[in-house]
Amino acid sequence: MSTYEAIMGMALQGAAVELKSMASADGAVLRALLSHPEVQPHIQLRQGSSSQQGVLDKLVNRMLHGYDLCALHAGIYLKGQPDLIGSVSLQNWNRHEGKAVLGYMLNPAWWGRGFATEALGLLLAYGFRELELLKVEGRCRGDNLRSEQVMLKNGLTLERTLPMADGSGDVMKVFTMLHK
């Protein structure tokens, strides 16, 4: 199954949220979310030689249009509502080894209501069932207790803690889940 087919076939409904492919019209909301001062410290953007705006534009295009063959991105929407409130993804997706790295972000206005937990649970079930994943990994900074709780509530376990490469003295917590 190609990444494009996996995205186009995805429309998952939970009790409060639904996951589906994002439309071009969601681009401005997605860009604002990636730039939000409460979200930005928790995401890692590979800047390289591009400007931050250039990096954001490329990332938004990949997320909206499925240009990344090794990632699957879905929008998080409140059930029955048209407005994007976040995204969830399987990144560094290795089909041969059945592995992927989780990514998710939610508009801070919706934090603390269980929406990220439900969205991640839907994506995990889809990944293990439909994409035949064998192992997923999730990461968060040591001080990101909300993200840590989202992963723990979905059955991931803390595997290891690594020092952050940025010299901040913080750590990166790595959580994993194996197919049952």
Phi-psi category of 7—alpha, beta or left, where left has phi over 0 and alpha has psi -120 to 50? alpha
Is 60 exceeded by the pLDDT of residue 4?
no
Instruction: Please give the domain boundaries of the chain with CATH numbers for all domains.
Output: 3-178 (3.40.630.30)
DSSP 72-91: EEEEEEETT--SEEEEEEEE
pLDDT category, 1, cuts 50, 70, 90?
A: very low
Write down the pLDDT at residue 123: 97
**% of the chain residues with pLDDT over 90:** 59
Write down the pLDDT at residue 174: 97
Mean pLDDT rounded to a whole number for the chain: 86
Structural element, H or E, at residue 49: none
Check residues 82 and 27 and name the one with the higher pLDDT: 82
Is 80 exceeded by the pLDDT of residue 5?
no
pLDDT digits 0-9 by tens, 27-57: 888 888 888 777 776 676 555 545 667 766 7
Is 90 exceeded by the pLDDT of residue 146?
yes
pLDDT category, 97, cuts 50, 70, 90?
A: very high
Query: How far apart, in whole angstroms, are the C-alpha atoms of residue 98 and residue 127?
Result: 9
pTM of structure: 0.86
Write down the pLDDT at residue 10: 65
For the segment 85-107, the average pLDDT, to the nearest whole number, is 94
Q: Are 42 and 147 contacting, i.e. CB atoms less than 8 angstroms apart?
A: yes
For the segment 52-69, the average pLDDT, to the nearest whole number, is 70
Is 90 exceeded by the pLDDT of residue 77?
yes
Q: Where are the alpha helices (DSSP H) in 16-112?
A: 27-35, 52-65
Write down the pLDDT at residue 32: 85
